[in-house]
A and B are shown apart, each in its own frame.
Chain A
Amino acid sequence: MNQQLKYRRIIAIFLAVLLTAVLIIPTTLSVSAANRLFITELRVEAGEEAVTSLEAEGWSVFMSGLNITSDPASQVYLAYKLNTGSPYTNVIVSPDVGDSFTDENGIVYQCVSHVDVDEGNGGGGCLYATRDQRAGSPLVGLDVLRGNNESNKVLYPITNDGAEIVRTQEGAPADLEKGNGTDVVYLAQIRDGIVRPYIREIGVITDTDKWNAVYTAAERGYNYYVDGDIDDSSETYTIIGYERTADPAEAITNITAVSAKTVQSLEDEQIIDNRTGQAGHLAATAISISGAEYVRISSQPVDGKEPYYIYRTKDTKAGNPISMLYAEKTEQKQNYLFGTWANGYFFSPGVTTAYTYSMNEDLYTTLWGDQTVLTKLPVQLKDSVTSSDTLVDPTEVLTKEKQESTTDNSSEVKPVSTTATSARTQQESTTEIPSETEQESITASSSETEQESITASSSEAEQEISIEIPAEEQSEIASEEPSKEQSETSAADGTDETIRYINLTMLTPRDGLPETTASITGMLGDPSVPYVERTQRSNRVNKFQASVFGTGGVTALIAGSVVMVMAVVAAVLIHKKRAAVTLSEKPGESGKSKATDHKKKSKNLKNSKNSKKYR
Chain B
Amino acid sequence: MDNLTYIVFIAMTVSLALILPLAEKKLRRLVIFMIVGIFSCLFVSELNNILLDSFHNDVFYVTTTITPVTEEIVKMLPILYFAIVINDDRHILIPNAFALGVGFALLENMVILIQNIETVTILWAFVRGFGSGLVHGICTVMVGWGISYIKKRRKFFFCGTFALLSAAIIYHAIYNLLVQSEYQYVGILLPILTYIPIVYLLRKKGIKPGGVSET
Contact = CB atoms under 8 A, between A and B. Distances in A.
B45 to A, nearest CB: 4
Contacts of B177: 26, 29-30, 33
Nearest to B40: A560
B3 interface: yes
B36 to A, nearest CB: 9
A522 B180 contact: yes
Contacts of A606: 153
Contacts of A570: 85
A543 B170 CA distance: 22
Contacts of B119: 541, 543
Contacts, number: 150
A520 interface: yes
A550 B42 contact: yes
B89 to A, nearest CB: 16
Nearest to B84: A571
Contacts of A30: 64, 177, 181
A519 B183 CA distance: 21
A520 B61 contact: yes
Of listed A29, A362, A523, residue having the most chain B CB within 10 A: A29
B56 A514 contact: yes
B192 interface: no
Contacts of A563: 39
Contacts of A546: 63-64, 67, 132, 175-176, 179-180
B116 A33 contact: no
A32 interface: yes
B49 to A, nearest CB: 4
A34 B111 contact: no
B107 A548 contact: yes
Given A29-B181, A522-B60, A571-B81, A548 B116 contact: no
Contacts of A556: 6, 39, 42-43, 45-46
A554 B2 CA distance: 12
B155 to A, nearest CB: 9
Interface in B15-48: 39-48
Interface string B165-197: 000001000111111111110010000000000
Contact of B56 (A34, A516, A549): A516
Given A362-B57, A556-B43, A571-B81, A544 B5 contact: no
Contact of B182 (A33, A523, A567): A33
Contacts of B12: none
B150 interface: no
Of listed A362, A519, A550, A557, residue having the most chain B CB within 10 A: A550
Given A365-B57, A544-B127, A560-B43, A538 B3 contact: no
A521 B177 CA distance: 12
A574 interface: yes
Contacts of B49: 549-552
A521 B60 contact: yes
A568 to B, nearest CB: 9
A358 to B, nearest CB: 7
B52 interface: yes
B59 A521 contact: yes
Contacts of A29: 177-178, 181, 183
B116 A541 contact: yes
Contacts of A2: none
Nearest to A364: B57
A292 B108 CA distance: 53
Contacts of B52: 549
Interface string B96-131: 000000000001100110011011000010010001
Contact of A548 (B41, B68, B187): B41
Contacts of A554: 46
Contacts of A523: 59-60
B153 A550 contact: no
Given A30-B177, A544-B184, A550 B170 contact: no
Interface size class of B (residues with CB under 8 A): 35 or more
B175 A521 contact: no
A41 to B, nearest CB: 19
Nearest to B184: A544
A357 B44 CA distance: 23
Nearest to B123: A543
Contacts of A567: 81
A361 B62 CA distance: 15
Nearest to B44: A548
A550 B61 contact: no
A580 interface: no
Contacts of A574: 85
B88 interface: no
A524 to B, nearest CB: 9
A23 B167 CA distance: 11
Contacts of B43: 556-557, 559-560
B116 A519 contact: no
A62 B61 CA distance: 31
Of listed B3, B43, B46, B47, residue having the most chain A CB within 10 A: B46
A581 to B, nearest CB: 15
Contact of B58 (A32, A521, A544, A551): A521
Given A541-B119, A563-B39, A567-B81, A548 B58 contact: no
B154 interface: yes
A547 interface: yes
A426 interface: no
Of listed B60, B124, B132, B177, residue having the most chain A CB within 10 A: B60
A547 B63 contact: yes
A560 B107 CA distance: 16
Contacts of A516: 56
Nearest to B57: A361
A167 B6 CA distance: 54
Interface in A515-558: 516, 519-523, 538, 541-557
A602 interface: yes
A131 B210 CA distance: 62
Contacts of B57: 357, 361-362, 365, 521
23 contacts: A26-B177, A29-B178, A30-B177, A33-B182, A362-B56, A362-B57, A365-B57, A520-B58, A521-B57, A521-B59, A521-B60, A521-B61, A523-B59, A544-B180, A545-B116, A546-B176, A548-B107, A548-B112, A549-B115, A550-B49, A551-B2, A551-B3, A555-B6
Given A523-B60, A547-B63, A551-B46, 15 more contacts: A30-B177, A33-B60, A519-B58, A523-B59, A544-B127, A546-B67, A547-B62, A548-B45, A549-B111, A550-B111, A551-B49, A553-B2, A570-B85, A571-B85, A602-B154
